[in-house]
Amino acid sequence: MSTLLRLTGRDALGLLHRITTQHLRDLAPGHCATTLFCDFRGRVLHRVAVARTSDAIYLARPDAPGDELAAAIDRQIFRDDVRIENLSAAATVHATRTTTGTAGTTVEHDAAPTALHLANAITWRIGDAPAASLTEAERIHLGAPRHGHEISDTFNPYEINVATDVHLDKGCFTGQEALLRMQTYGGVRRRLTLLEGTGASPNSGDTLRRGDADAGVITSVATEGDAWVALAVVRHDALESGEPLTTDAANITRATPFPESRPLGLPEPRAAT
């Protein structure tokens, strides 16, 4: 269950630049970038890598089918010169951990991408399953979001640590006003957090508590021997209070928030004087 779309036509890259969160207009052949499709609230609907080859634009992801994404793009085509081919049934995308390749570049064969090098030394490979795919526990430790888990219309990009997929000064896109307001007025109240525990593991969707108050929600879980790891979206005040986080069934031994990322296109904060 993965996505590979091929877009052709003179307006293909411009269309994606206009309707998604990332600055894509200047994406050069041989390069790739991750971008988001958001709703008007700034909540995340889709996350994909956009790769430009010598003769087309490709959209890829390893964790969701392509039909819904293709339909979402098609609804945005009016007089644009854009054609969409859904190649998802014939090509599979796999997430791998790699120490080779430069982030933001692609590997091509016959003008089609075979590998997309992303951040955190993650590569999305297109084709046969590689010998060492990224395990769920590895993905969780990296804080890499997954469709149906962190990538959901429940969360905005800042809450799932993909703020660098957002470029706020490139022109209007769906959700831009909401995302800009969150940055301007301090509206980001939750952040992605790595949980570790022992014994019985929790379930994705379980509520986290700090005392009697709701503190967040668990989004992904994987076992590691007699222990488990999980991703959760947790309220800032719950993390800053120093009180332990609890669930109904699982023993949490450690909660480590991921470093917060900033969206692109904003001035750097002034250093304290």
Q: Could you say which architecture CATH assigns to the domain 190-257?
A: Beta Barrel (2.40)
Q: Would 3-142 and 190-257 be classified into the same CATH topology?
A: no
Which of 225, 222, 216, 211 lies closest to 257 in space, CA to CA? 216
- In the chain, where the domains are located: 3-142, 190-257
When mean pLDDT is compared over 37-41, 133-137, 263-267, the highest value belongs to 37-41
When pLDDT is averaged across residues 233-255 and rounded to a whole number, the result is 90
Of 1-5, 52-56, 248-252, the range with the lowest mean pLDDT is 248-252
Examine the pLDDT at 267 and tell me if it is beyond 90.
Answer: no
The model's pLDDT over 123-177, given as tens digits with 9 standing for 90+, comes to: 999 987 776 789 999 999 999 999 999 999 999 999 999 999 999 998 899 999 9
When mean pLDDT is compared over 8-17, 204-213, 249-258, the highest value belongs to 8-17
When pLDDT is averaged across residues 58-72 and rounded to a whole number, the result is 97
Confidence category of residue 269, pLDDT binned at 50, 70, 90? low
Domain 3-142 has CATH 3.30.70.1400: yes
Examine the pLDDT at 213 and tell me if it is beyond 70.
Answer: yes
What is the model's pTM?
Answer: 0.92
When pLDDT is averaged across residues 45-63 and rounded to a whole number, the result is 96
According to the model, what pLDDT value does residue 1 have?
Answer: 87
According to the model, what pLDDT value does residue 100 have?
Answer: 83
Alpha carbons 257 and 240: distance in angstroms, whole number:
10
Residue 168 identity (one-letter amino acid) = L
Examine the pLDDT at 263 and tell me if it is beyond 80.
Answer: yes
Which of 160, 167, 108 lies closest to 139 in space, CA to CA? 160
**First and final C-alpha spacing in the chain:** 52
Examine the pLDDT at 101 and tell me if it is beyond 90.
Answer: no
Examine the pLDDT at 273 and tell me if it is beyond 70.
Answer: no
- CA dist 104 to 27, 38, 58, 66, 266, Å? 10, 22, 14, 22, 21
